[in-house]
Amino acid sequence: MSIHIHPIKAFNDNYIWTLINDNNKQAIVIDPGQSAPVIDYLEAQGLELTAIWTTHHHHDHIGGVAELQEHFPMTHLVAHSEHNVDEDQTIKDGSKVNAWRCTAQVWDISGHTASHMAYVLDIEGSKHCFCGDTLFSGGCGRVFTGTIEQLYNSFKRLNGLPAETLLYPAHEYTASNMRFGLSIEPENIAIQQALLQAEEKTAQGIPTLPVTLAHERAANVFLRADVLSVISGVKAQLPLVDDKPLTVFTALRSLKNDF
């Protein structure tokens, strides 16, 4: 079986990640905030939509769901009960979702929102993590209906995946996140290189995603809240009550809010 993953662009900077089974010309889309780009792409490629997976309830992730269900009546909708859609399969932490003969583990990675789910898909021994708005390349999501403690714990959980895991965030925020990272760790060569690459790709309209967890461990300051250079960079801008990773992570998110 041959599965490949394609980003459909939506809005200004969203990616609707699309799993495509080349053998049977079927597709699964994740977080379709808009229906038109999905319909256009699937029809151009001669693909049938068989399932939709959602990570959280924000409109730019579920706004196209209803129209896609109308256009593709056999679509199987997978969502948490709090994602504000009429799901066929209700998921929670520990659920399993099938993608043809592959299995995705559902993880609760709340923080950006409550009930934010990730899909950790195993394709022939390689892990692909669709992490919505929890983790971005070089950054993390703002806290809305979740808590900063949840977000921190979600980052710890994601950091437990194998280093070669591919991460699929839902937004093209890489360049701006790397600029923020350099405001904290100006001497970090991995962030410097990531910013240059992101600027080049963005200028050409090429996605900077997916990225490996190994890359994020080197270039994402939110995964580096226990590193001395990050702690020092935060202290230079904001007083800290202590050096605990959660305290540093919280301060990073506060600084990013105003960056």
Q: Residue 135 has which token pair?
A: 């983790």
Classified by CATH at the fold level, domain 3-257 comes out as Metallo-beta-lactamase; Chain A (3.60.15)
| Cα–Cα dist 116/208, whole Å | 23
Q: Is the pLDDT of residue 182 over 70?
A: yes
**For residue 202, what pLDDT band results from cuts at 50, 70 and 90?**
very high
| pLDDT at res. 168 | 98
- The pTM for the full model equals 0.97
| pLDDT at res. 78 | 98
Instruction: Give just the sign of the alpha carbon dihedral 222, 133, 89, 124.
Output: negative
Q: What is the pLDDT of residues 229-239, one digit of tens each?
A: 999 999 999 99
Give the HSE-up count for residue 244: Cα atoms under 13 Å, Cβ half-sphere.
Answer: 7
Q: What is the pLDDT of residues 34-70, one digit of tens each?
A: 999 999 999 999 999 999 999 999 999 999 999 999 9
| pLDDT at res. 100 | 95
Q: What is the pLDDT of residues 6-34, one digit of tens each?
A: 999 999 999 999 999 999 999 999 999 99
| Cα–Cα dist 31/197, whole Å | 26
Note whether 57 and 33 are within 8 A (CB): no
| Cα–Cα dist 92/83, whole Å | 11
What is the mean predicted confidence (pLDDT) over 192-220?
Answer: 98
| pLDDT at res. 123 | 95
Is cis: bond before 210, omega within 30 of 0? Answer: yes
How high is the mean pLDDT of the chain? 97
| Cα–Cα dist 132/94, whole Å | 17
What is the mean predicted confidence (pLDDT) over 161-187?
Answer: 98
Note whether 19 and 3 are within 8 A (CB): yes
Hey, where are the domains in the chain? 3-257
Task: Characterise 43 by phi-psi region: left (phi > 0), alpha (psi -120 to 50), beta (else).
Answer: alpha
**For residue 150, what pLDDT band results from cuts at 50, 70 and 90?**
very high
Q: What is the DSSP letter of 222?
A: G
Q: DSSP per residue over 58-79, as a string? A: -HHHHTTHHHHHHHSTTPEEEE
What is the mean predicted confidence (pLDDT) over 72-85?
Answer: 97
| pLDDT at res. 240 | 97
Give the HSE-up count for residue 136: Cα atoms under 13 Å, Cβ half-sphere.
Answer: 25
Q: Residue 80 has which token pair?
A: 């948490």
What is the mean predicted confidence (pLDDT) over 105-109?
Answer: 98
Buried b (16+ CB within 10 A) or exposed e, 65-102: beebbebbeebbbbbbebbebebeeebeeebebebbeb
| pLDDT at res. 1 | 63
Between vectors from CA 184 to CA 182 and to CA 188, what angle results, nearest 5°? Answer: 50
CA-based nearest residue to 37, from 72, 11, 76: 11
| pLDDT at res. 48 | 97
